């Protein structure tokens, strides 16, 4: 089962109080949610969202003892504003977004996320969505594939890999993760770094299939909006592209003071105002990485909403 990443650090940062509202936009196996609900006590409420219906059904079983205080919602955290409204939650004291995949998803071959196990080219977190990895790989124009591969960090070989994919799919549609991994490996001509040669290509396709960056932008903004005065948000991401976007949104809301020629100062920034709890992202300890190698690339950023009218 998925192990929650940076759990102690998230709990220490969020300071969850009994009787308050908690939102988990990425409930997954419920590791963070379970620990949060324990701290909420019976008087607190938890809104638990995941776009993977099967994951949500499993976590609903796991958290059955707390069912009375939980609302389980199948949906995208990008739609958090509407989901919270429909669930009757007007504000939250603590919100967690732990983006990316759960181990349960990666380790299930038929979900098609892994190059390590052969499976259908699917990669949808939400299996009710239309766009699959097979459509991206077999239908998207070469240039569009090059763009997403470059964005994902596959700079030197992006064109060669995209061209190889197009050549292969013209012969025979690419149906499995195993065949895609082989094509990528061959196109990279055995170039090996520290990570598997297909890692970045698989990551790029998965992020495109699930519109992950777009969801993250909307979700982080919606989460900040939903915070109660003094409420706290924790975002864990696993890719520098994601972490960069989270940092920028946090900074926009942190704003800055500017001195005015006429005297005094004016504040520039997005509403609501926030205080970043950590300037640099928090990363897992060597001990956590040894226990859970999948935590390796995690980065945690947290903020607190500043009550209206209070100085930063
Ligand atoms: C890294 S796991 C979360 C693990 C969880 N914190 C735990 O302790 O078990 C990420 C989960 O978030 C879900 N997810 C990712 N992006 C999402 C989004 N935009 N909206 C809703 N769920 C999302 C995935 O389906 C997956 O189940």
> At how many degrees (to 10) do helices 199-209 and 177-187 cross?
130
Q: For 39-59, how does the pLDDT look when each residue is reduced to its tens digit (9 = 90+)?
A: 999 999 999 999 999 999 999
Residue 311's pLDDT band, with cuts at 50, 70 and 90, is low
Task: Determine the atom of ligand 1 nearest the C-alpha atom of 78.
Answer: 19
pLDDT of residue 71: 98
Mutate to test the pocket of ligand 1, among 50, 58, 105 (most ligand atoms within 8 A of CB): 50
Rounded to the nearest angstrom, the distance between the alpha carbon of 55 and the centre of ligand 1 is: 9
Q: Which domains, ranges and CATH numbers included, belong to the chain?
A: 7-104+212-305 (3.40.50.150), 130-209 (1.10.150.170)
Task: Determine the atom of ligand 1 nearest the C-alpha atom of 125.
Answer: 25
Rounded to the nearest angstrom, the distance between the alpha carbon of 240 and the centre of ligand 1 is: 18
* Burial (Cβ within 10 Å: 0-12, 13-18, ≥19) of residue 217: middle
Q: Is 52 in the pocket of ligand 1 (CB under 6 A)?
A: yes
Q: For 151-195, how does the pLDDT look when each residue is reduced to its tens digit (9 = 90+)?
A: 988 888 999 999 999 999 999 999 999 999 999 999 987 666 778
Beta carbons of 113 and 106 less than 8 angstroms apart: yes
Beta carbons of 214 and 78 less than 8 angstroms apart: yes
């Amino acid at each position: 089962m998925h192990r929650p990443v940076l759990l102690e650090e998230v709990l220490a940062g969020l300071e969850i109080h009994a009787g308050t509202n908690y939102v988990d936009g990425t409930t997954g196996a419920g590791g963070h949610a379970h620990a949060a609900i324990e701290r909420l006590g019976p008087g607190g409420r938890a809104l638990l969202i995941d776009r993977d219906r099967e994951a949500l059904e499993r976590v609903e079983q796991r958290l059955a003892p707390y069912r009375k205080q939980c609302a389980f919602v199948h949906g995208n955290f990008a739609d958090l504003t509407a989901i919270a409204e429909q669930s009757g939650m007007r504000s939250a004291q603590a919100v967690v977004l732990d983006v990316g995949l759960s181990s349960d998803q990666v380790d299930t071959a038929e979900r098609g996320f892994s190059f390590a196990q052969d499976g259908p080219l699917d990669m949808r977190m939400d299996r009710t969505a239309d766009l699959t990895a097979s459509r991206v790989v077999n239908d998207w124009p070469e240039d569009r594939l090059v763009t997403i591969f470059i964005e994902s960090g596959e700079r030197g070989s992006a064109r060669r890999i995209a061209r190889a994919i197009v050549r292969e799919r013209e012969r025979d549609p690419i149906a499995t993760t195993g065949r895609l991994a082989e094509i990528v490996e061959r196109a990279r001509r055995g170039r090996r770094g520290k990570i598997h040669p297909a890692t970045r290509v698989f990551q790029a396709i998965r992020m495109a299939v699930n519109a992950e960056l777009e969801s993250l932008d909307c979700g982080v903004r919606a989460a900040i909006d939903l915070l109660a005065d003094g409420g706290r948000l924790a975002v864990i991401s696993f890719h520098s592209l994601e972490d960069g976007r989270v940092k920028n949104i946090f900074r926009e809301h942190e704003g800055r003071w500017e001195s005015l020629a006429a005297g005094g100062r004016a504040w520039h920034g997005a509403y609501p105002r926030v205080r970043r709890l950590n300037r640099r992202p928090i990363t897992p300890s060597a001990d956590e990485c040894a226990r859970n190698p999948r935590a390796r690339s995690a980065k945690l950023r947290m903020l607190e909403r500043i009550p209206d009218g209070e100085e930063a």
